[in-house]
Amino acid sequence: MVKVLQYAGQAVVYAAVAVLIGYFASRPLYQQFPDGQAQIKLSFAHGAARVRDCRRLTPQEIAKLPPNERRPNTCDRARVTVRVQLDLDGKIIYDADLPPTGLAGDGPARVYQKFAVPPGRHVLIARLRDGRDTAGFNYETRQEIELAPGQNLAVDFKSDVGGFIFQ
């Protein structure tokens, strides 16, 4: 009888552990994003213009170089910062200077930003400056968008396809 009770007790322990594991393996539910909102995600990696143009080396400068390193041009590695701006319905929701990455400041500038926005019809303008000018933008894309609740709109940038891409 004692043995039967012991086995029953063990069954209770196993059941309790199984319930615990089964429940916490997927409950309670977690709400990551506010209900009824949409999201705009801005992300790209883009190499801006160099801080200085490449220039031709003078014959004297070339002569000073070791024979195996002689070349006609020299270029500074450093790049300028990228300025990016996101305008939603006339309101600037993101405006930032993105420094180049890398120890020598020669890598691409990168951004990864998320914005929760109300669903519905919006006008989204994305602007980017990647040159040495200090005013204005080299790229600007204006798009009317219709966001459904829970929709995720990705805003990418690729200079080789003409600028911003809305996906």
Partner 1 sequence: MEILRAPLRFVFDRTERLLGLVFPPHWNPMLNLGALGFFFFWIITVSGVYVYIFFDTGVTQAYDSVEYMTHDQWYAAGVMRSLHRYASDGLIVVMLLHIAREFALDRYRGVRWFSWVTGVPVLVMVYAAGITGYWLVWDRLAQYVAIVSTEWLDQLPIFGEPIARNFLSAATLESRFFTLMVFIHIAVPLIALILLWVHLQRVSRPNINPPRGLAIGTLASLLVLSLVHPALSQGPADLSKVVGPIGLDWFYLPLYPVLEHWPGTVTWGGAGALLLMFIAIPWLPPLRKPPVARVDLPNCNGCMRCFNDCPYNAIAMRERSDGLPFERQAVVEPSLCVSCGICAGACPTATPFRRASELVAGIDLPDMTVAELREEVETRCAFRKDEIRILVFGCDHGVSLRGIDGASVKSISLRCIGQLPPSFIDYVLSKRLVDGVVLTGCSENSCYARLGIEWTNERVARERDPMLRARVPRERIRVLWAGRAGRRKLEALLTQFAGDLASLPPGASAVHKPDTREPSKELVDG
Residues 40-99 that bind partner 1 (CB under 8 A): 41, 43-45
Q: Which residues, other chains included, contact 94 with Cβ-Cβ below 8 Å and sequence gap of 6+?
A: 42, 84, 85, 86, 113, 115
Binding of residue 30 to partner 1 (CB under 8 A) = yes
Residue 87 in contact with residue 124, Cβ under 8 Å? yes
Least separation in angstroms between CB 133 and partner 1:
25
Q: Which residues, other chains included, contact 151 with Cβ-Cβ below 8 Å and sequence gap of 6+?
A: 38, 39, 119
Binding of residue 22 to partner 1 (CB under 8 A) = yes
Using CB under 8 A as the binding criterion, the count of chain residues that bind partner 1 stands at 43
The CA distance from 39 to 63, in Å, is 58
Which residues make up the interface to partner 1 (CB under 8 A)?
5-6, 8-10, 12-15, 17-18, 20-22, 24-27, 29-33, 35, 37-39, 41, 43-45, 101-102, 107-108, 110, 112, 150-152, 154, 156, 167
